Each structure stands twice: as C-alpha cells, then as structure tokens.
Amino acid sequence: MEVEAEDTPKKNDDSQLISEGLAKIKTTGKVFYNPVQEFNRDLSISIITTFAKRFNEEKILKANKHHLDIKVTVNKNAIVQEAGIKYEDGISILEALSATGLRSIRYAKEIPGVKKIIANDISHKAVEDIKRNIVENKVEHIVDSSHNDAVLLMYQHRKEHQFEVIDLDPYGCPSIFLDSTIQAVKEGGLLLITATDMAVLAGNSPETCYSKYGAVSLRMKSCHEMALRILLQCVEAHANRYGRYIVPLLSLSADFYIRIFVRVFSGASKCKFTTSKLSHVYHCSGCDSFALQPLGVIKTNEKNKQIKFGIPTGPPVSKNCEHCGRPHHIGGPIWSAPLHSPDFVQEVLNTASEKLATFKRIQGVLSVIYEELLQFPLYYTLERLSGTIHVEMPPMMAVRSAILNAGYKVSFTHMNKTSIKTDAPPKVIWDIMRCWAKSHPVSKKRLIENTPACSILAKQPEKDYSFDIHPDANPQSRKLGFVRFQENPLPHWGPGSRATAMVGDQKILKSKKKSRQKEKGTISRKW
C-alpha cells in the first residue's frame, strides 16, 4: 500500500505552499495572503533592520553616558549581529494582525538583533497555521504565536513589556488600533502602520474620512500625499493624548495602500509643537491650486531664545481663487511637517540587501523619496496643469527647468510620475504655463467663457520664463535608470478579499452570541 508523502497536498485539500524570502509556509487557503505585498514585507525588513541597529547604538550611548557621564562615540561597524539568532538584549516585535505568520517568520530569519516576535491573530484557523509554520521554519526560539484580540493584547502591554517595534497591517482603516498601539510601543520605538481604505482617504467620502481619521479628505491630484498626511496627523493626535509625539522616518504610497514608519517619543513640552506641524488645506475647485493654513505658529525671542506659541491669522486665500475665480474647498487638518528623515532613508539605501526579490524597486523608490523636497507639502501634476488650460502637455524636463531657472526648487515625488513638488507659488506655476501656451496656442474652441482655462489665459504672465534645460532638471535617480515608478504588478491586483477564516470565526462568534441571548430571552421580536 502506497503512503502519501507529508508534503503532498490531498486532493480535497485547499492548502497552498508559499515561498518568500527565507520563509516557506503552508496555509489552509482560508487565511489571507497577498503576493503583491512582497515589496511591503521586503521594505519593512530593510527598515526594521536599520532601525534595530540605530536603536541598539542609541541604547549603548545612553547607558555609557548614564554610568560614565562621558561622551562615547560608537563605531557603527562594531555592533555585528546575525539574523535567526535570539539576542536577550535585542528588540521585541509585535505583528498585531499576522494572518499566515509569513511576515513574522521572515522577520525572525532575516532581521539581525531580535529578542522576541509575537505573531498575533484573532482567527483560530490563522493561529493554527502560524503555529505550524513557526515549527516548520525552525524559529520557535524567536517567534511566539498569540490567539488574541489585537487591541486587548496591546493594552495588556501598555505599562510593562512594551515592544520596540509594532507592525500594524490591517484590512482597511487602522484607526481603531491606534490608541492601544501608541501605548504599547517603547520610548523611541518604531510603528509600521498600513491603511488600505484609499477611497476614503483620497476624497471620495470626506465625511467618512473625518469619522475615521479626524480630518476631511479632498479630491485632488495630490490625494495620495494628502492620504499620508491625514494618517500621520491621526497617529499624532492619538500620541498627544498620552504626552507622546511622532517622528516620521518614511511615508510611502504604493500600489493600493499607504504605509508609514514613525518613531514614538514622550515629552509634554514637545507636544506643544504639534499645532505648528498641522495645517488646513484650501483647494481650488477649478484649477487645483492649493494653499495651507497652519493651526499654530512658533515665535522665538532672539534675546533669550524663549519659544512662544501663537495662533496664526488667516485665511491664506480669498473667497474665490485668484487664478481662475472658482471657490475653494477646505480640507484637513493634515500633517504639514516633513514626511521623511533623509538620513534614515539614506541609511536604508546603504544597508538594504540585494538578495531581496524587490530590491530594485526599493532602491528606486527610496532614491526618489530621498530627493523629495521636505518642507513643501502636496504637489501638482503635469497632466492636470495642461488639462486645465487645454494646452499641449510640455516635457517634464522643460517645466522643471523653467521652475529652476526662475530661482525656485523642484522635485518629483514617488507618488506620481508626473508630479511637480516645488516651493514656487501657484502664481509662478500658472505664469510658466501661460508662457508655454504662448508658443503652443490653445484652440479658440476650447476657450469657453467663465471656465478656468479662459480665466487663467486671459491674464498675462509677469515675465517670460525660460524653458532652456537646467543642469539640475534631471534628478540623479533618473540618470541612473532606477525603477522609480512601479507598473501594476499583477492582473486584477489590489487589496484582495478579507480572509475567509476571519469571516468564518466571526460568524461562529455571532451564532454563539445569539444562542446565548435566546437562552436568556434577550432577543426582542422584530415588528
């Protein structure tokens, strides 16, 4: 009689074998797994690796300074740790919503300097998969499975045994987890937070966005950056309630989701600076121009260097847009401070492993992020500027050169391949487009009275802007041919469907709850 091999799935078995990075897992087929997210996991590994190294260095410096009261310089090459080995003085990681356990297993096998990883999920079937996969990948000494409600688990760690790293990758909106997440992370710890409800964050449902994130979203071409900034202000709001604040290391918009990597620190005095990091957005409904109104301002006394916090005057725009005459929409508040830490991004670029399957994409995206202008929120897009006045779209290098030739700064953003992020005011941008329209006339049929195009082109530019190619117009990432903007990775790609194991568990719980209510006679008849 022939015996079927253990690794051979049975005919009626809906399980699947998955190999990614150094991990090999088996799922029941009912637990959520999305192959498109490999880039997400690869990038997370690179960032946690860089953070762990920096966190350990900071810990050594702090310990030496506390005991010896002297300045100590740490050689970054002196701290050498290996992946797959448990370090008692290493970092602890919580993957709050683990599903298959793939991410936690990869963290254990690919991130050096780890003490403990908890792979948690509320689904009983998912936890069964996680336990089996932990054993089969031989990472029991580092990874522990947990069958718990993520919020409850994090509240249990809010005072003792906090985590250096918490990875929060929910299906949809993460806001219901933020209060517990902020309390469960250690001082100076790292939060990795994903949001996939992009329709809400990108302006399709501003009222829902406010109820979930505490900010009004806007439908504008820079909606992906707006989404990131809404999520950041939401996390900052939760942190401020406990005298804590965030410092963004990297903010990413990719595929069908946004993901932020932020450090959390404590300090009631530092929380006072939050209002100066937040702004409302005035967005023209006709030409897509925008202006920001900060919630607070900071003034420093030059004599004694004393800082004073004030309330700004406003609004920054008139009732109707000065360029096209259309009314403004008001959104926010959004995070208007920098989205990234350039030093950290450069460090990740230097340390990211070329063995990662998506290394080229990581290299390209982080290179563009490193080049982004930090102090100037939101951006224009070339097709929107051209489409508004119905003019032939100019070459990107020509527009970038015109901005640089005028004495302003300009950069791409990783969120859009035709993006124009600049410190030039909207008037200068439209004057540049007017100059382009002079040499590339618009058909008179397109210039209908009382339209944005007619209003904008009716005005003359204050001066002639030069479109001669500027030496800095072509960024380094483009010169080097990096994969800067990813094409759709798979047909019908997206966030996928919610895990059926989770849905099944919820149905069982609801069924049991109804049974108990019937026994107690607490279900009222529907009339």
Asked whether residue 403 is domain-assigned, the answer is yes
Q: How far apart are CA 180 and CA 163, in angstroms?
A: 12
Asked whether residue 411 is domain-assigned, the answer is yes
Asked whether residue 278 is domain-assigned, the answer is no
pLDDT value at position 8?
42
Q: Please tell me whether residue 155 adopts helix, strand or coil conformation.
A: helix
pLDDT value at position 524?
37
pLDDT value at position 309?
94
Q: How far apart are CA 354 and CA 243, in angstroms?
A: 40
Q: Identify residue 130 by its one-letter amino acid code.
A: I
Instruction: Return the biggest CA–CA distance within the chain.
Output: 92
pLDDT value at position 53?
92
Asked whether residue 313 is domain-assigned, the answer is no
Q: Could you tell me the pTM of the whole model?
A: 0.88
Q: How far apart are CA 294 and CA 316, in angstroms?
A: 10
Asked whether residue 458 is domain-assigned, the answer is yes
Asked whether residue 382 is domain-assigned, the answer is yes
pLDDT along the chain (527 residues), means of 10: 40 71 82 76 97 89 64 49 92 95 96 97 93 96 97 96 96 96 97 96 96 97 97 98 98 94 97 97 96 95 86 93 96 98 97 94 96 96 96 96 98 96 97 95 87 94 95 93 71 52 50 52 36
pLDDT value at position 353?
93
Which tokens belong to 490? 């798979």
Domain coverage including residue 388: 369-479
Do the Cβ atoms of 134 and 100 come closer than 8 Å?
no
pLDDT value at position 506?
52
Q: What is the CATH number of the domain that holds 421?
A: 3.30.56.70
Asked whether residue 433 is domain-assigned, the answer is yes
Asked whether residue 83 is domain-assigned, the answer is no
Which tokens belong to 439? 């040499």
Domain count, the chain: 1
**Residue 344: its H or E element:** helix 342-351
